[in-house]
A and B are shown apart, each in its own frame.
Chain A
Amino acid sequence: MSLVAHSLSFRYEKTDPFCLENIGLELHPGQCLALLGANGSGKTTLSKLLIGILQPEKGHVSVDGQNLAGLSLAGIGEKIGYLFQNPSRQLFCSSAGEEIGFPLQFCGLDPGEIAERTEHLLHFFGLDHLRDQFPFTLSQGERQRLALAAIMVLDPPYFILDEPTTGLDPRRREELFYYLQKLIKNGRGIILISHDHCFARRLASGILELKEGRLQEVDPGC
Chain B
Amino acid sequence: MLKELDPRSKFVLSGILATLAVFFNHPLHLGPLLILALFLLPLFSCNPLQVARRMRHLLVILGGLVIIQAFFYPGTTPLITWGQHYLITVEGLLQGSSLVLRLFIILCCGLILASSPPARFVQGLVRWYLPYELAYMVSLGIRFLPLLREEAGDVFTALQLRGVDLRRMPWRQQFKVYRGLFLPLITMAILRSRQIALAMEARAFRAYPRRTFFHSLQLGRGDYLTIIISLFSGILLIFLHLRGLI
Residues of A within 8 A of B (CB): 51, 53, 72-78, 80, 82, 84, 88-94, 102-103, 106-107, 134-137, 150-151, 154
Q: How far is the CB of B189 from chain A (nearest CB, A)?
A: 10
Chain A residues with CB under 8 Å of B180's CB are 93-94
Chain A residues with CB under 8 Å of B154's CB are 84, 89-90
A53, B180: Cα distance in complex, Å: 23
A89, B148: Cα distance in complex, Å: 11
Chain B residues with CB under 8 Å of A80's CB are 161
Chain B residues with CB under 8 Å of A77's CB are 160-164
Of the candidates B157, B165, B181, B184, the one whose C-beta lies within 8 Å of that of A134 is B184
A66, B183: Cα distance in complex, Å: 37
Cβ A134 vs Cβ B164 within 8 A:
no
**What 4 pairs between A and B have smallest CB-CB spacing?**
A74-B165, A73-B160, A90-B158, A77-B161
Cβ B187 vs Cβ A134 within 8 A:
yes
Chain B residues with CB under 8 Å of A107's CB are 163
Does chain A have a CB within 8 A of B228?
no
Cβ B151 vs Cβ A89 within 8 A:
yes
Cβ A72 vs Cβ B160 within 8 A:
yes
Cβ B162 vs Cβ A150 within 8 A:
yes
Does chain A have a CB within 8 A of B237?
no
Nearest A-chain residue to B190, judged by Cβ: A136
Nearest B-chain residue to A95, judged by Cβ: B184
Chain A residues with CB under 8 Å of B167's CB are 72
Number of B interface residues in the complex (CB < 8 A): 25
Cβ A84 vs Cβ B158 within 8 A:
yes
Proximity bits, B29-66, A CB within 8 Å = 1, else 0: 00000000000000000000000000000000000000
Chain A residues with CB under 8 Å of B185's CB are 92
The binding surface of chain A is classed by DSSP as helix
Chain B residues with CB under 8 Å of A134's CB are 184, 187
A137, B167: Cα distance in complex, Å: 31
- Please judge, given known A-B contacts A136-B187, A136-B191, whether A78 and B158 are in contact too, CB under 8 Å: no
A107, B240: Cα distance in complex, Å: 67
Chain B residues with CB under 8 Å of A82's CB are 161
Q: How far is the CB of B146 from chain A (nearest CB, A)?
A: 15
Does chain A have a CB within 8 A of B229?
no
Cβ A78 vs Cβ B163 within 8 A:
yes
A77, B181: Cα distance in complex, Å: 19
B152-179 contacts to A, CB under 8 A, are 154-155, 157-169, 173
Cβ A75 vs Cβ B184 within 8 A:
no
Does chain A have a CB within 8 A of B188?
yes
Chain A residues with CB under 8 Å of B169's CB are 106
A76, B164: Cα distance in complex, Å: 10
Proximity bits, B189-223, A CB within 8 Å = 1, else 0: 00100000000000000000000000000000000
| Other contacts beyond A77-B162, A136-B187: 9, CB < 8 A | A72-B160, A74-B168, A75-B165, A77-B164, A90-B155, A92-B155, A93-B184, A106-B169, A151-B162
